[in-house]
């Protein structure tokens, strides 16, 4: 301490006071640091300590793989109720969005179990099995290949081609689109199995229902319940959102005349839904121009051979009609 009653201080007095001041500050800082470290230790404890506490509480930390195995087992168990099976599929869909998880699902046989779920007699199981598959197929070539080999394409088309609830068909369309996108081999198999005819029939069926709703509203002859059922038909916008406009346009590049004919018919059926997408598709525009030139030459050969209503002339007429609609 300095003597404040005197007006003079030696240099030694000042040095001594300064040293004591620094010492007090360091002690205070040290106390603050110890308090901070104690607080941090309370917030962040060693992993070994946490594991020990979880063990004492019988809490098990599962990996994604373990969770998926558990969900597949729950879905595949004969003792599981319908609600439990659907809940397992619903939870599984969350995990297979990740590419690695989808491939892990494949590695332990879970993908085939879900594919087989498409054969279920329960519409809800079909719906949610397709939901899982659509997520697993998305941008995942390895899973797409295995799905084709596992019969997924055939099973999905059967659901679309038969009488099924609309929600199930929506999920199946989602799964099909994910399976076909950027996968030419699957697209070829889709054509061979009559996929375009199934899709075209589906579009025409739903278009008829939409027309029936408009007619019913005009005539006011239908019950409110029936009108509500018609309003639930949102299949055509779903086709657009899922990417079917682009997929069907890409199929026109196939070399076989018969395949092109079916694609042209499908493009026509989807025109009301996909018109603006088709107009913006530069590749489709180039393909149509190339096909026009090709079939004009083939149609001319038919005329020279005396065929006024030849096959190539009909194809040319379909192309000309589509080009005109897209102007």
Contacts of range 314-323, beta carbons closer than 8 Å, 24 or more positions apart: 315/257, 315/260, 315/261, 315/264, 315/291, 316/292, 318/261, 318/264, 318/265, 318/268, 319/264, 319/288, 319/291, 319/292, 319/295, 320/292, 321/268, 322/264, 322/267, 322/268, 322/271, 322/288, 323/288, 323/292
Q: What is the pLDDT along the chain (327 residues), one digit of tens a residue?
A: 445 555 555 667 666 666 665 555 555 556 666 667 666 566 666 777 767 776 667 656 789 999 999 999 999 999 999 999 999 999 999 999 999 999 999 999 999 999 999 999 999 999 999 999 999 999 899 999 999 999 999 999 999 999 999 889 999 999 999 999 889 899 989 989 999 989 888 887 765 554 444 444 444 555 555 555 444 445 667 788 888 999 999 899 888 999 999 999 999 988 988 999 999 999 999 999 999 999 999 999 999 888 878 899 999 999 999 999 998
| DSSP category for residue 1 | -
Number of Cβ within 10 Å of residue 77's Cβ equals 12
The sign of the dihedral angle between the CA atoms of 12, 14, 17, 22 is negative
Distance CA 165, CA 159 (A): 10
The pTM of the full predicted model, rounded to 2 decimals, is 0.69
């Amino acid at each position: 301490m300095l003597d404040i009653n005197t007006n003079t201080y030696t240099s030694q007095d000042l040095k001594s006071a300064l040293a004591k001041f620094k010492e007090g500050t360091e002690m205070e800082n040290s106390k603050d640091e110890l308090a901070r470290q104690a607080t941090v230790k309370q917030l962040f404890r060693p992993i070994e300590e946490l594991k020990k506490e979880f063990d004492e509480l019988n809490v098990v930390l599962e990996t994604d793989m373990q969770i998926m195995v558990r969900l597949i087992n729950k879905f595949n168990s004969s003792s599981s109720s319908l609600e439990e099976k659907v809940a397992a599929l619903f939870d599984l869909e969350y995990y297979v969005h990740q590419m690695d998880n989808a491939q892990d699902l494949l590695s332990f046989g879970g993908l085939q179990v879900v594919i087989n779920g498409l054969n279920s007699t329960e519409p809800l199981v079909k719906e949610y099995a397709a939901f899982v598959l659509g997520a697993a197929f998305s941008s995942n070539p390895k899973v797409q290949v295995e799905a084709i080999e596992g019969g997924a394409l055939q099973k999905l088309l059967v659901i679309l081609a038969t009488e099924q609830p609309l929600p199930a068909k929506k999920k199946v369309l989602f799964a099909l689109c994910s399976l076909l996108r950027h996968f030419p081999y699957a697209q070829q198999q889709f054509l061979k199995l009559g996929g375009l005819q199934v899709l075209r029939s589906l579009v025409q069926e739903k278009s008829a229902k939409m027309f029936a709703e408009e007619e019913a509203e005009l005539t006011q002859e239908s019950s409110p319940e029936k009108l509500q059922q018609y309003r639930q038909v949102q299949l055509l916008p779903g086709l657009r959102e899922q990417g079917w406009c682009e997929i069907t346009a890409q199929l026109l590049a196939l070399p076989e005349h018969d395949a092109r004919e079916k694609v042209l018919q499908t493009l026509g059926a989807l025109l009301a839904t996909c018109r603006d997408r088709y107009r913006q598709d530069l590749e489709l525009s180039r393909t149509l121009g190339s096909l026009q030139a090709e079939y004009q030459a083939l149609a001319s050969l038919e005329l020279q051979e005396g065929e006024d209503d030849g096959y190539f002339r009909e194809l040319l007429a379909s192309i000309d009609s589509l080009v005109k609609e897209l102007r």
